[in-house]
Each structure stands twice: as C-alpha cells, then as structure tokens.
C-alpha cells in the first residue's frame, strides 16, 4: 500500500492535519491505536484560541462549534476568593476564546474526515515508523492480530500524543528533552449543572488552586489542585463541592449549583518539550512533542498551530517541490511552543500552592496577582498570551 503521508494518531492534531491535507488534494492515511468511540469520548481540553477557531473555520469544521460553542471575551482571577476580571477582548483589540470541548472538536473532525473519504484505521496495532532517515520511509501496523501491513509514504506525521511511538523513533543522540513535573495534580469533575459564572475563574487560594470552567450552559467542568497520589475514593462529590465553594470564594460559591459528577479523574501536570520536532522524514506535532500544564489552556491549541505550520510546509512541497518550509518547520513550531510553555509554567506558578515553597513565596504570588489586578500593562500581557499569540 502507498500514500503520501501516514499520520499516526487520530487526536486533534492528526485529524486536523488529515483534513487540511485532504482539502488540498494530498493523500494521507490515519492510523489510530484506540477505537473511534474511545477517541471521541476522551474528556480533556475546552478552551480554543482564536487561531484554532480560525483554522477549524478554514477547513470547514466549524458549523456545530459556531452553534454550540460559547465565545468568551474575558475570564476571572481570584485571590482567596476575591475575583477580578481580565477583559481579554478589550485588552487585545477584539480577540476572544471559544469554549467548546475537545470531545466535540474530535467528533466533528472525525465525522468530516470520514465524509470526505479520508482513510482512518482505528484499533491499529503495533504501529511502527521505519527508515525515517531515508528517502523512502514506511509504516507497519496490524489489525486484530492479523498480518503486518506495510504502507510506503513520503512523510510520516507523528501526531500520537505523549505516550506514542513516533518521538522515540528519533535517535536518542539527536533528541533533547526538557521537562518539569509539578508536585501536584488536578482533580477534575464534569457535572450536568449550569456553571457558577458565565466566564472561567482561576483561583489562587491558600488551600490550593481551583478552576471553575464549563463545556456548555448546562455542563460544568471544575478542578481542584490535589496531591498527585490522592485516592479518588476519598473525594465523594459533596467533598469536592465543599472544597470548590471554599477555594472559589463566597461570590462564586453563591452561584454554584451542585449535582452528581459523571466524570471524575486526577490529571498530572507537566511541562515537556522534545527537540527537534523533525528528523528526516518524520515530523512531530502536538502532544507527541510537547506537554503543557493545563492552566493556560494551551495544549490543544499548540497542536493546532503545529499542524498549521506543518500543513503549510507539506502543501508547498507538493505544489512546487519547495523544501524550505519543511526544513524550517521545527524551528518555527518550537518558537511558538516555548512561548506557550513559558505562559503555562508562569500561570501555574502564580496560582498553585507548591509543597516546597514557604510563606514568603505565597506573599510573592499574592503581590503578583495584585499587581495584575491594578496594572493595565500587566493585564495586556496576560490577555494576549491567553487568547493566543499570532502565528508567525
């Protein structure tokens, strides 16, 4: 079997790339380890930058997002329960973010891909890239324990997330990784109740961080910072609601509607970058190359901007054989990645309690948040990073 590009992974990065390539008349094949149902039900991101929204519009996968998504032009920061607002749109000359769940983005992209006839193989086993340093790379996989299938291609796009196989196909002596693992996690719940505020609230409380978010006007997403080895059984719903009411403060608590959670999990927090994002004929995009803590809502958005740069380079190559954009992909993508890494790391640092920090450090956090509250210049910086830096 032969195709131009084999895409490993049917998450947001892989499916968005397949959509852009298909629209541009470039054949591709997507190989995904999990089932379609599993991929479509993975609960994760919820905040889309303007750049991501524009990309989804451009590839014709934005109808449902326009109908059901919630455009936000501000968000709130809170210190020990006292709220203040960052007017994103006013501070950035009109930019917004869109609250629309990753599950919905993925569903829309998969539906659009299958409608276009893109080949997507779910439950592909033992997906392995080969000969990435040569001019004729190929990928092998199996289905249901059957015979090994070989797909020859021009390029391989490693969109297979943090636990995928593609990053490790780059020889160790070439790869450099940079990592910070945070000494806490986020306990998240989804509940079919209206949100306590029509905008997000990021709260620094002396008991730990809390986030009030949402997926729709009737579905809330809440998080609290917790030890990474916390036992979920110790957190019945009522305890979580009580803790949220304390950490988010009286103003937000007065509007919290309690209900049963239908999803509850603890996510680790990590900053991670693997360089380079290209080796030979293999290109990495999204979580396969980098991870951010979810505080800045950047992970899915970085996957989208990587794909934008990669698709642009591949389209130029197939149009007139130009390789300069392919050669520049890793540098260009990493320049944006590192800025988002910085923002996510910084935002995590000023909003969470760190077990190894003392009362002085907490005073510094509170002073920084107070500075942001009263400084127009500081608010512009926060807002322009939150809505997403331009693609350049």
**Cα pseudo-dihedral 333, 337, 338, 341, rounded to 10:** -170
Quote the least distance from Cβ 149 to ligand FAD, whole Å. 13
Q: What is the DSSP string of 321-378?
A: ---HHHHHHHHHHHHHHHHHHHHHHHHHHHHS--TT--HHHHHHHHHHHHHHHH-HHH
Query: Between 272 and 354, whose beta carbon lies closer to ligand FAD?
Result: 272
Q: Please indicate whether residue 264 is annotated as part of the active site.
A: no
Quote the least distance from Cβ 14 to ligand FAD, whole Å. 6
Q: How many CA atoms lie within 13 A of 150 on its CB side?
A: 6
Q: Please indicate whether residue 195 is annotated as part of the active site.
A: no
Q: Whole-angstrom distance between the N-terminal and C-terminal Cα of the chain?
A: 36
Query: Between 105 and 248, whose beta carbon lies closer to ligand FAD?
Result: 105
Quote the least distance from Cβ 259 to ligand FAD, whole Å. 20
Q: Please indicate whether residue 202 is annotated as part of the active site.
A: yes
Q: How many CA atoms lie within 13 A of 110 on its CB side?
A: 22
Query: Between 228 and 367, whose beta carbon lies closer to ligand FAD?
Result: 228
Query: Between 78 and 340, whose beta carbon lies closer to ligand FAD?
Result: 340
Catalytic-labelled residue, pool 205, 298, 308, 352: 298
Q: Please indicate whether residue 182 is annotated as part of the active site.
A: no
Q: How many CB atoms lie within 10 A of CB 79?
A: 21
Catalytic-labelled residue, pool 294, 308, 329, 352: 294
Task: Compute φ and ψ for 174, nearest 5 degrees.
Answer: -95, -35
Q: What angle do CA 296, 245, 264 make, to 5 degrees?
A: 60
Q: Distance between alpha carbon 140 and the CA centroid of its chain, in Å?
A: 28
Quote the least distance from Cβ 153 to ligand FAD, whole Å. 15
3-state secondary structure (DSSP) of residue 253 = helix
Quote the least distance from Cβ 268 to ligand FAD, whole Å. 8
Q: Where are the alpha helices (DSSP H) in 59-93?
A: 63-68, 88-91
SS3 annotation, 2-13: ECCEEEECCCHH
Between helix 299-320 and helix 50-58 the angle, nearest 10°, is 40
Give residues in contact with ligand FAD (CB under 6 A). Answer: 8-14, 31-34, 39, 44-47, 102, 124, 127, 159-161, 163-165, 188, 267, 286-287, 294, 297-301, 303
Question: Alpha-carbon distance 338 to 335, whole Å?
Answer: 6
Quote the least distance from Cβ 52 to ligand FAD, whole Å. 8
What residues contact 138, with CB distance under 8 A and at least 6 apart? Answer: 6, 130, 131, 150, 151, 152, 153
Query: Between 25 and 183, whose beta carbon lies closer to ligand FAD?
Result: 183
Q: Please indicate whether residue 12 is annotated as part of the active site.
A: no
Catalytic-labelled residue, pool 202, 222, 223, 329: 202
Quote the least distance from Cβ 198 to ligand FAD, whole Å. 17
Catalytic residues: 72, 202, 294, 298, 386
């Amino acid at each position: 079997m032969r195709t131009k590009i084999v895409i490993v992974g049917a998450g947001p990065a892989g499916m968005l790339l397949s959509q852009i390539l298909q629209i541009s008349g470039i054949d591709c094949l997507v190989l995904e380890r999990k089932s379609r149902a599993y991929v479509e039900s993975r609960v994760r991101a919820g905040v889309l930058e303007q750049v991501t929204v524009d990309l989804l519009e451009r590839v014709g996968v934005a109808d449902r997002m326009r109908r059901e998504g919630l455009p936000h032009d501000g968000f709130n920061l809170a210190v020990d329960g006292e709220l203040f607002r960052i007017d994103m749109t006013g501070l950035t000359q009109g930019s917004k973010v869109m609250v629309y769940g990753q599950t919905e983005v993925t569903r829309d992209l998969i539906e659009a891909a299958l409608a276009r006839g893109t080949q997507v193989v779910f439950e592909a086993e033992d997906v392995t890239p080969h000969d990435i340093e040569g001019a004729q790379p190929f990928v092998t996989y199996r289905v249901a324990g059957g015979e090994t299938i070989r797909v020859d291609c021009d390029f391989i796009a490693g969109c297979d997330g943090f636990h995928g196989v593609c990053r490790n196909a780059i020889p160790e002596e070439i790869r450099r990784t940079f990592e910070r693992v945070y000494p806490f996690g986020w306990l998240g719940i989804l509940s079919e109740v209206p949100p306590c505020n029509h905008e997000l609230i990021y709260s620094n409380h002396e008991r730990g961080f809390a986030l009030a978010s949402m997926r729709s006007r009737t579905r809330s997403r809440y998080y609290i910072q917790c030890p990474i080895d916390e036992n979920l059984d110790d957190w019945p719903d009522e305890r979580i609601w009580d803790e949220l009411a304390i950490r988010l403060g009286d103003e937000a608590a007065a509007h919290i509607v309690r209900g049963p959670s239908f999803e509850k999990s603890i996510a680790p927090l990590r900053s991670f970058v693997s360089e380079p994002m290209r080796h030979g004929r293999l290109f990495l995009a999204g979580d396969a190359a980098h991870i951010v803590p979810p505080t800045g809502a950047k992970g899915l958005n970085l996957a989208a901007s990587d794909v934008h740069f990669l698709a642009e380079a591949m389209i130029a190559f197939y149009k007139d054989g130009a390789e300069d954009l392919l050669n520049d992909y890793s540098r260009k993508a990493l320049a944006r990645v590192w800025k988002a890494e910085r923002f996510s790391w910084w935002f995590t640092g000023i909003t969470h309690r760190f077990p190894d920090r003392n009362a002085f450090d907490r005073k510094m956090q509170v002073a920084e948040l107070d500075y942001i509250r009263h400084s127009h210049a500081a608010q512009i910086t926060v807002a322009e990073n939150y809505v997403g830096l331009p693609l350049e």
